Each structure stands twice: as C-alpha cells, then as structure tokens.
Amino acid sequence: MIQIIEIKNDAIADFKAAWPCHGIADAVDFIVVAVSNGDLVDYQCEDADHNEVEPGEDSGAALSALFDSIANGVTA
C-alpha cells in the first residue's frame, strides 16, 4: 500500500533551520512523498504555486533525513 505524505512550508522551514547545510532550494515550499512499506517510492518538490521545482543541488542527504523524520513522526 502506498502512503502519500504532504510536507508543507512550515515543516520544511523548521527542518532547514535545524539543518543549516541542507542544500534544499529556496523555491521549495511543498513536497509530496510516496512511501510503500517504509520505502521511498517517489517525491516531488513544488513552489508556492504548486509548480514542480528542482530540489536543489546536494540536497539528497537532507531530503532523506527530512523524509525519515516525517515518516517517523518527528516533524509534521
């Protein structure tokens, strides 16, 4: 079963503040994550107008940590 998780701007901003070298692009205001049995299936980063945007260079580790924290209920 695929679970869809929406990560809103407030949670992204809180995460960026806690992870100074996040590399997540400033334009990212919303992230949709698809997870199946605890495994990442896909994700999409969007701006405030819900247009797809690139996540940012060198953002992979930060996005992985963000997705893990959201999936484990650390941040909402």
Mean pLDDT by 10 residues, the chain (76 residues): 93 93 95 89 96 94 89 60
What pLDDT is stored for residue 73 in this prediction?
67
Q: Quick check: 30 and 67 in contact, CB under 8 A?
A: no
Question: CB neighbours of 67 closer than 8 A, spacing ≥ 6?
Answer: 5, 33, 35, 40, 43
